[in-house]
Structure 1
Amino acid sequence: MFLAWNEIKKNKLRFSLIIGVLMLVSYLVFFLSGLATGLASLNRESVDKWDATAIILSEESDKSLPQSSITTDEVDHIDGKETAILAQLNAIATNGDTKQNISLFGIDKEERIMPKVTEGKEFSKENEVIASDALKEEGFAIGDKLELSSSDEKLTIVGFTNSARFNGAPVLYSELSTFQHVKFGEAAEANGDKINGIVVYGENVSSISTSNEDLEVIEIETFIENLPGYTEQALTLNFMIYFLFGISSVIVAIFLYVLTVQKISMFGVMKAQGISNGYLSRSVIAQTFLLAFIGVTVGFVLTLTTGTFLPSAVPVAFDIPTMIFYGVVLTVVAILGAVFSVLTIVRIDPLKAIGG
């Protein structure tokens, strides 16, 4: 470690370039991980808010909530600790000044799925809704009258709740009767028992069952993974992160190999003086660790600093444990990249290196 640190201090510019590259790679990795977490949150916030075990949909829905159609009577056929009805549709809402894609949830306010109001009050009559606080950032406020693209009904925002987005769209919560009037209009009475799914609470999925063969019990995490674009989005961003791990390893390997080749004669002299391959190899590994640690730490701090200045429209959410894990992985792959330099040092013939 002493030899490694002394060389870094003596050749500041040379090693600063390596640190700078590692810092930029780690910065990109950390930012992509934050983007992956943020985009995932946009899709699943409201589902996580249910804190449920499973959801029951019609079997032909292909695990898609909007495609599922069942009736409230199915609750009687479900064996579970607790249930909550859920109806859902997508629409565009406007308050006269701003348009926004939304997801309307029809629920029973007496059931566990009812969200906690963080501002305003709960809905108490038809055409009143609780809105995701994400809509506040778009210019919506309590008391706004909302027009929906799919209905002649006008909804009034009476409260806000936090962390409520579904498949990227802010959620509006309403009584089931309000939902039916929005979706079916004049035919609401005839379709008053139509819903999309039943959220079920239990100890585990195996403890939940239904006697209706046309219904499917879906674990919540499986349901989330089948949300449109969720899995594809996560795989794309994670692939980019893993690719950057490989790039980091190659970059470090190239830099250190070039530096090692430039110092072959010096290593030859040191080996001729009796310094072992093990000592020199440990010095290179220690040097790589120091460079990677400094670069990754600076990238980590820079990423968090950048996050404080990003506008709310940028869907970035930094998960510290995940970032620390990625930082450790970057350090490890950097050390693996130093193996080529170690192998070069081991193969140095002292006599040839010093021109003997």
Structure 2
Amino acid sequence: MNIAWKEIKKNKVRFLILGSIVFLVSLLTFIISGLANGLSQDNAALIKDLPEGQFYMTKDADQTINLSRIDNGVQDKILNKQKEAVAFSIQMGFLNDSDDKQQSVAFVTSTVSKLFTNVKKGEIVLDRSMEDKGIKVGDTLTNNQYSGTFLVKGFVNQKKFSHAPVAYINMADYKEIYRVDAMQMAFIPGEDTTKVIDGLESFTKKQFLKTIPSYSAEQMSLNMIVWFLVVISGMLFTIFFYMMNVQKIGLYGILKAIGVKTSTLFKMMWTQMVFITVIALGLSVALSRVFNMIAPKGMPFSLTTTTTVQLSVVFLIIGFIGATLSGLQIKKVEPLQAIQQGEV
């Protein structure tokens, strides 16, 4: 520990450069991860907030929500056998506000269930983001395919689907707008509820999220960037400590000659790695938290404590692996040969 600290003080500039690079890479990783989580919520908060369970769509829908139609008889059997089950539908659409301006929404309706907001005919409950567009409780909204008007009864927090605010409406109103008589999907909550239903295809929540247009491609791209940055950080540690070790072959030879064990030299290198990484991660976590607080309201950014801790642990593990790989050459150092080479 003492040797490691003395070397850091002796080569301040080198370690400061490595620390700065790790700080920038980790900060960028945290921010991109926050954007990925934010976009995930903005794209599918309605589904992600549901408990674990099984989703069902018709097999001939080819995993496309808009093409799924569950027969009313099949729906009734599911709801009668499973008390917690719910049938629901989601369709993109629009509403006209008091200024006759169109607002894009995702219309959602369901059978009576505590998992979804249920409203009476002619009423509507909106995602709270609609308040930013000037809509208030008591306002009257219209839709070109609906013969009546919608009375805004309230707002719910963080309910989005396909990047559009959710609008809960009554089932009768939904059927009038879209000229349908059947619901699109069924959901049975519970982790051990996998049941085979003739004509229907089942999905876990994770599988169902992938049926949402753009969700998989969006998340895959951002997560790929995150892990690419993590790999880069590991390579930086490997290259940095490798170059340091090459320059200290003579020193390692002397230390081995006076009885210092190879394990002690590895511990010195690991101590330096942990010291640099912890400081860099501490600064990047602090700045990413500040960014989380000052990010524009319309920006889908969500960096949770769980994600921050997980990424920090990954950075430490990657740093440990990178430093260890670079230090494998220490085991091969022969004291006499290294001393003859001299310390560069």
Matched, 1:124 2:120: yes
Superimposed CA distance per residue, residues 4-60 of structure 1 (whole angstroms, 9 cap, x where no aligned partner): 122223332221111111111111222222222222222332124443622332221
In structure 2, the residue matched to 1:103 is 106
2:312 and 2:54 map into 1 onto residues whose CA distance is 34
In structure 2, the residue matched to 1:196 is 184
1:335 and 1:26 map into 2 onto residues whose CA distance is 15
SS at match of 2:66: coil
1:50 and 1:344 map into 2 onto residues whose CA distance is 52
Question: Contact 1:130–1:160 at 8 Å: present in 2 too?
Answer: yes
SS at match of 1:85: strand
Q: Which of 305, 310, 315 is equivalent to 1:325?
A: 310
1:264–1:176 distance in 2 versus 1, CA, 3 Å: same
1:91 and 1:166 map into 2 onto residues whose CA distance is 12
In structure 2, the residue matched to 1:88 is 90
SS at match of 2:259: coil
2:229 and 2:247 map into 1 onto residues whose CA distance is 27
In structure 2, the residue matched to 1:180 is 175
SS at match of 2:241: helix
SS at match of 2:38: helix
1:148–1:262 distance in 2 versus 1, CA, 3 Å: farther
Matched, 1:18 2:3: no
Alpha-carbon shift at residue 154 of structure 1 (Å): 3.9
Corresponding letter in the other structure for 1:346: K
1:84 and 1:343 map into 2 onto residues whose CA distance is 59
Question: Contact 1:54–1:219 at 8 Å: present in 2 too?
Answer: yes
Corresponding letter in the other structure for 1:338: A
SS at match of 1:163: coil
1:337–1:98 distance in 2 versus 1, CA, 3 Å: farther
TM-score (norm 2): 0.87
Alpha-carbon shift at residue 284 of structure 1 (Å): 1.3
Corresponding letter in the other structure for 1:112: K
For 1:192-271, list aligned pairs within 5 A: 193-201=181-189, 204-206=192-194, 208-210=195-197, 213-271=198-256
Q: Which of 275, 278, 283 is equivalent to 1:290?
A: 275
Q: Percent identity?
A: 26
- The unaligned stretches of length 5 or more in structure 1 are 116-121, 185-190
SS at match of 2:286: helix
SS at match of 1:140: coil
Corresponding letter in the other structure for 2:175: Q
SS at match of 1:261: helix
Corresponding letter in the other structure for 1:125: K
RMSD across aligned C-alpha pairs, in angstroms?
Answer: 2.6
2:321 and 2:190 map into 1 onto residues whose CA distance is 46
2:49 and 2:322 map into 1 onto residues whose CA distance is 43
TM-score (norm 1): 0.84
Superimposed CA distance per residue, residues 144-163 of structure 1 (whole angstroms, 9 cap, x where no aligned partner): 33344665654332211112
Question: Contact 1:49–1:163 at 8 Å: present in 2 too?
Answer: no
Corresponding letter in the other structure for 1:111: S
1:21 and 1:98 map into 2 onto residues whose CA distance is 49
Question: Contact 2:146–2:173 at 8 Å: present in 1 too?
Answer: no
1:279–1:317 distance in 2 versus 1, CA, 3 Å: same
